Every structure is written in C-alpha cells, then in structure tokens.
Structure 1
Amino acid sequence: MPKTAIIPPGTGVPIAPFVPGTLADGVLYVSGTLPFDKDNNVVHVGDATAQTRHVLTIIKGVVEAAGGTMDDVTFNMIMLKDWADYGKINAVYAEFFPGVKPARYCIQCGLVKPDALVEIASIAHVGKKA
C-alpha cells in the first residue's frame, strides 16, 4: 500500500527515525508528539496546560497538512508523566475536541525527556490522499 510522509512546514528534525505523520489509504497516523520546539527543546517546562496546548497544536498542523481537520481525529493515545496533571490535560483536550470526542486511552509513564509532561499520538481518517 502506498504511503505518504506528512511533514508540515517549519517542522524540526526528529530526535529519532520517524516523521510527524504517515498517510496511507486515507488514514493518518500522527507520531507521538511531545512539547518540543523545532530544536527538540521542551517548551513550557512545569506547565502541563501549556504543554498540552502546544502538543495538540502540532498535531492539528499535521492533520491539516494531510488535508484534514481535528474533527477527523478518531483515536488518541495520551501518555502523561503524572496523574496530578490529568485534569489540566483534559481541559485543554476538550478545547481541541469540542464535539463528538475521539476514542482514546491515557497512561502514566516516563517520557523521553524529563521536563516533558505529556505526549499524544493520534489517528485520523482524512480521506484517500495517498
């Protein structure tokens, strides 16, 4: 099956061998997205609200670069460093998904950089583009 790498303008070089998104047969798979700037530095250290907003804004950019909208997101995988931030993450999440919510799971785990408080990966159905 053909697949297309989705790399929005201004995307930095990833810290591992992956692309921000892969589109195959109308399904977009968005890589785990951390609160990084284009140089892979953690932004908004200590602020789960701002980090979540940053992550979801990046995801939105990947979805839009693939020709979709956040309404096309059907599944999210959320990883958080501390359950104490769960409410803050959910408040921002609700802003990005105001209507019918995507399916999701949420786990607590260690993230690739200690100052990162949240990571989100997504799946969206954006139509057959590849």
Structure 2
Amino acid sequence: MEYIASSKAPSALGPYSQAIKVGDFIYTSGQIGLDTQGVLAEGLEAQAKQVLNNLSAVLQEGGSDLGHVVKTTIFLANMEDFAKVNAIYADFFGEHKPARSTVAVKTLPLNALIEIEVVAIQTKV
C-alpha cells in the first residue's frame, strides 16, 4: 500500500489521504471544488471543473490519468444539477466511460455542491 499526495490538489481536510495505491489500483478520496489554497470555487460548474482537475492531479501523481478510471462516484447536493454535471464530466472523460454511480446527499464538506471519488488503474511505474 502506498499513500499518494499531490501538491497540485488541495490537502485533505481531515485525517485521510488524497489517494491510496494498492497493487495496480488507485483509490482516491472524494474531492470537492477546492483549489490548492483551500478556496472553494463559486457555483456548480466551477466546482465540478475544479473537482475533476484535482482528481486528475492526484491520479497523475500516482501514475495514472482520467483515461484509466474504472469507477466514479458522484455526490451532488442537488440532483437537479445532474444534467449540468454530465456535460462537464463528458468534456473531461471524452469517449472513455467508466462505471459510475451518482447520488444526492443532504450536505457536503464546506457546503460544496459536488464531490467525486474515483478508482483508476495505475499505468506508469
């Protein structure tokens, strides 16, 4: 087991890691739309893009990328944002379509509007 930490993504808000690599798999913690200074982006679209950029940075640190994600879980503060998130998600993933779950939750950390976690395959040693 190896802990993964990227300076290009925000530090964990609590006692957990940005990601952990086990074998050839990378399991990320959920990312919200914080920048590296700890500032939450304004609005759903900006937060969703920041989340995906954060996940990309963490995966790159672990030797992978969004193109090797096998599963995502999206947590939304409002399920009415589903279509907006789908459009942004599609821009980041392109033709790659990992398995996915999307759930609505009552509250996210720092009152974020979206949180995403992923499982990816390591591609670089």
**What TM-score results when the alignment is normalised by the length of structure 2?**
0.91
Aligned residues: 124
The residue that corresponds to 1:89 in the other structure is 85
* Residue 12 of structure 1: how far off its partner (Å): 4.1
2:11 pairs with 1:31: no
* 1:107-130 deviation digits (Å, cap 9, x = unpaired): 00021222x10000000011485x
Q: Distance in 2 between matches of 1:10 and 1:120?
A: 17
Question: Where does residue 22 of structure 1 map in the other structure?
Answer: 20
The one-letter code sitting in structure 1 at the alignment partner of 2:110 is: K
Q: Percent identity?
A: 27
Cα drift, residue 83 of structure 1:
1.4
Could you tell me whether the CA contact under 8 Å between 1:25 and 1:127 is conserved in 2? Answer: no
Change (3 A) 1:11 1:98: closer
The structure with the largest helix share of the pair is: 2
Deviations 1:26-71 (A, max 9, x none): 1000100011133433222xx2111100000000001111111211
| Structure 2, unaligned runs of 5 or more | none
* 1:98 corresponding residue in structure 2: 94
Query: 2:91 matched to 1:80?
Result: no
Tell me the C-alpha RMSD between the 2 structures: 1.6
Is the 1:76–1:104 contact (alpha carbons within 8 Å) kept by the matching residues of 2? yes
Task: Report 1:36-47 matches (<5 A).
Answer: 36-44=34-42, 47=43
Distance 2:26 2:93 in 1: 17
Q: 1:63-113 CA deviation, whole Å, 9 max, x = no partner?
A: 111111211100001000011211111111001111130001000002122
Which letter maps to 2:41? V
